[in-house]
Structure 1
Amino acid sequence: MTKLELKDFLDEKFIQYNTLDFIDSDPVQIPHLFSQKEDIEIAGFLSATIAWGNRKMIIKNSHRMMDLMGNTPYDFVMSHSPSDLERLDSFVHRTFNGEDFTFFIQSLKNIYQNHHGLESIYSKNQEPESLQKSISEFKKVFFEIPHQYRTQKHVSDPMNNSAAKRINMFLRWMVRQDNKGVDLGIWKTISPAALSCPLDVHSGNVARKLGLLSRKQNDAKALAELDAQLRKLDPKDPAKYDFALFGLGVFEGF
């Protein structure tokens, strides 16, 4: 199909899937449980962190994370006691365990106490058409306090050639503002134009079939290639096509 036909097709699929019905089957429902900015972003960050594997299990375990924090994520992060953290020991989602969860809480407290929160770190390091440097800088800050080496694998680094799918998804949730009710759009200091489409097996396969991506691996180089193509279709909001690519792959088996 021509470039114009491709844009029309993807725009149509974006509109089809960017609806409130999408929330019911997606981990974006977790930050939607909250109204306070800090609760939303902490819930979003934690649920995005474990967003790999079976989607029903991701959602179930994300709800369990919230339950273990008394469904008050920000208050738990800032006011937890050692006995509160012990409750997290039993948590497991694939290779993310209670030890990882405990460190994430401690690191988030450091970020809110000493770095003015999550949004501040990302906005400070953003570039006009990319947040990949911001993600890399965020990882440095996140692990600046003592930690187990094994926990580092749960925060991706684009500078190590990772597509950083889960963090790019989290950033889409926080930054995109289209009033359709799916993405929360609570971060106002970052432009949606800088977002990248979360690249995973579904969006990658669909992108290749549509001629948007030639690289076979789903890595940082592939993300840069896909970014360049999607910015041609909509330079102001390229990440909106995540709905189209993901929907075509997961719901339609395209």
Structure 2
Amino acid sequence: MTKTELKDFLDEKVLQFETPDFIPHDPISIPHMFSDPKDVEIAGFLAATIAWGKRKMILRNAHSLMERMDHEPYDFIMNFEDSDAVAFDGFVHRTFQPEDVFYFMKALQRLIRKHGSIESIISSHWISSGRPNNLKDTLSHFHTQFFDQPHAPRSRKHVANPAKGSAAKRLNMYLRWMVRSSEKGVDLGIWKEIPSSVLSIPLDVHTSGVGRQFGLLTRKQNDWMAVAEYDEKLRDMDPIDPVKYDFALFSLGAVEGF
């Protein structure tokens, strides 16, 4: 398949899979439950945080988190007190446990009180850094800010740090949700300061496997260096909206068994 043929093929697959039919079986369905952007960005962040494992389990546990927060994630976090931790008794998603949820509530409360929103934390660092063509350093800065209070070391793994080599799949997926246009009715597009052109591919077993089959990825490890290599190829195909191809690449692997 030539470069042009591959682009045409993937463009067709984007049209096929980037439709509202994608939503119900994907973690993006969680932020879609809300209309207030304040709720959307928090629900999305928490859903993305636990987005590893089987999708049915992810959705079940993400719904459980929202229920425990009375389906008002912004108000719950902004009014959170230590005594409210009882709401998460018994909650477990793989290694994400009540101790981790408690820290996430406190960290989000602290950061949002200070900066106003998750968007503000991310976009202000990216802008002050000179608007680079990727968000690697910004995500590492976010990790540092998130864990700048006493915490259990085990909690750190739940927010990726590209500076340590992580592919940051869940954070990149979250950024896609928040930044990309909502025109197709799937991504939410509530963040306006960051352009889709600087987003990175959410690299997982499906996108990496399909990418290697198509010659879009040669690196064997699924790390940030692989993300950078993949991004370069996708931006060559569409410099304005490269991560639209996540819909094609993920679905080819997860749905069509490529």
Q: TM-score range by the shorter chain?
A: over 0.9
- Return structure 1 stretches of 4+ with deviation > 4 angstroms: none
Match of 1:249?
A: 253
Match of 1:240 among 230, 238, 244: 244
Q: How far, CA to CA, are the matches of 1:178 and 1:215 in structure 2?
A: 32
Aligned to 1:9: 9
Aligned twin of 1:39: 39
Q: Map residues 97-136 of structure 1 onto 2, 5 A cutoff.
A: 97-126=97-126, 127-136=131-140
Shift of 1:178: 4.6
Paired residue secondary structure (2:24) = helix
Native 8 Å contact 2:18 2:247 kept in 1: yes
The within-5 A match list for 1:1-254 is: 1-126=1-126, 127-254=131-258
My pick for the range that moved more, 111-120 or 242-251, is 111-120
Question: C-alpha deviations, 1:192-235, integer Å up to 9, x for none?
Answer: 00101100010000000001000011100000000000000000
- % identity of equivalent residues: 56
Contact 1:128/1:193, CA 8 A, preserved across alignment: no
Contact 2:196-2:240 within 8 A present in 1 as well: yes
- What SS does the corresponding residue of 1:93 show, helix, strand or coil? coil
- Residue type at the aligned position of 1:114: K
Q: List runs of 5+ in structure 1 lacking aligned partners.
A: none
Q: Quote the Cα distance in structure 2 between the aligned partners of 1:5 and 1:158.
A: 32
In structure 1, C-alpha distance between the alignment counterparts of 2:257 and 2:73, rounded to whole Å: 36
Write out per-residue CA displacement over residues 4-59 of structure 1, whole angstroms, 9 at most, x where no aligned residue.
11110010001100000000110000000001111000000000000000100000
Between 1:125-134 and 1:41-50, the stretch displaced more is 125-134
* Aligned alpha-carbon RMSD (Å): 0.9
Counterpart of 1:98, as a letter, is: P
TM-score normalised to structure 1 length:
0.98
Q: TM-score, normalised by structure 2?
A: 0.97
Spell out, residue by residue over 1:41-81, the C-alpha distance to the aligned partner (whole angstroms, 9 max, x if none).
00000000000001000000000000000100000000123
